[in-house]
Amino acid sequence: LRLCQPFTMLPPAGHLLFLLLVMGTGGTVPRPWGPPRGCYAAEEAGERTFRCSQAGLSAVPTGIPNDTRKLYLDANRLASVPAGAFQHLPVLEELDLSHNILAHLSGAAFRGLAGTLRHLDLSANRLVSVPAEAFMGLQIQVNLSANPWRCDCALQEVLRLVRLAPGTGTGIVCGPGARADLVGQEFLPLAGEEELCGTGWGGAQRSTDVALLVTMGGWLALVVAYLAHYVWQNREETRRPLKRAPVLPVRSEDSSTLSTVV
């Protein structure tokens, strides 16, 4: 009877092993049941909230309820936000992505959230630059503190599109990738003084503007050159008969008067 006991224990042990295997994947593989590991849904101040803080996530988890208004993905290992990462959450108002290792944000990262998203926390990540397109059409308050910003044209454009969360005006500091004289400097006072999109070839829109200006300048120069050439040539042509015209009759007159005299 005692010999049989290990055999009767086998099926539960197998289940346990499977569970351990699934848990060992760190929650990146969506589980077919319930919320992602380390995440839980709650009702906070009457708002549907989904918390995945410190859940060891390396990707935005699937299985987030579509009625979620507040989503906490802070203190994970998220490295990037792909296009449309939250577009299946039509009523999302608040998104916390702080304390991750975010280095890349898609230009369409917040696609589908234009009408609803109000608060976005991107603080304490590894963001060097973010595409301004990602923030177009959004009416949001953001926290951009504690990132190694390159302090480029894109960041200046982002700051024109968003409002900063209260008290986060300081803390947007230029990182080692920034222009030498900007490293370690607070970005906000700088951005107020200097137009980063106007100098150099930083802004794509500015460079197309410059290209247009150069082309137009080229055409203008061509037209002016042609006009100058035309005027110069006409002057040459009008000068020649003018010089000859008074000379010829005088000679003929002279000769005629000479002949008549003679």
Residue numbers at the binding site for ligand NAG (CB under 6 A): 66-67, 90-91, 98, 121, 123-124, 143, 145-146, 165-168
Question: Shortest distance, CB of residue 174 to ligand NAG, whole angstroms?
Answer: 16
* Residue 163 or 239 with smaller CB distance to ligand NAG: 163
The least CB distance from residue 225 to ligand NAG, in Å, is 59
**Shortest approach of ligand NAG to residue 130 CB, angstroms?**
15
Q: Which is nearer to ligand NAG, 90 or 137 (CB)?
A: 90
Taking the complex as a whole, the smallest distance from the CB of residue 1 to ligand NAG amounts, in Å, to: 52
CB of 222 to ligand NAG, least distance (A): 55
Q: Which residue number, 91 or 103, has a Cβ lying nearer to ligand NAG?
A: 91
Residue (90 or 200) nearer to ligand NAG, CB? 90
Q: Which is nearer to ligand NAG, 107 or 112 (CB)?
A: 112
Q: Which two tokens stand for residue 166?
A: 């209260």
Tell the residue number behind the tokens 């370690």, with chain if given: 184
User: In this structure, what token pair is assigned to residue 4?
Assistant: 């049989």
Q: Are 156 and 179 in contact (CB under 8 A)?
A: no
Half-sphere exposure (CA, 13 Å, Cβ side) for 108?
Answer: 7
In the bound state with ligand NAG, the residue whose beta carbon lies nearer, of 69 and 203, is 69
Between 30 and 217, name the residue whose CB sits nearer to ligand NAG.
Answer: 30
CB of 122 to ligand NAG, least distance (A): 9
SS3 sequence, the chain?
A: CCCCHHHHHHHHHHHHHHHHHHHHCCCCCCCCCCCCCCCEEEEECCEEEEECCCCCCCCCCCCCCCCCCEEECCCCCCCEECCCCCCCCCCCCEEECCCCCCCEECCCCCCCCCCCCCEEECCCCCCCCCCHHHHCCCCCEEECCCCCECCCHHHHHHHHHCEECCCCCCCCEECCCCCCCCCCCEHHHHHHHCCCCCCCCCCHHHHHHHHHHHHHHHHHHHHHHHHHHHHHHHHHHHHHHHHHHHHHHHHHHHHHHHHHHC
* Amino acid of residue 81: V
Residue closest to ligand NAG, measured at CB: 123
Minimum CB separation from ligand NAG for residue 95, in Å?
Answer: 12
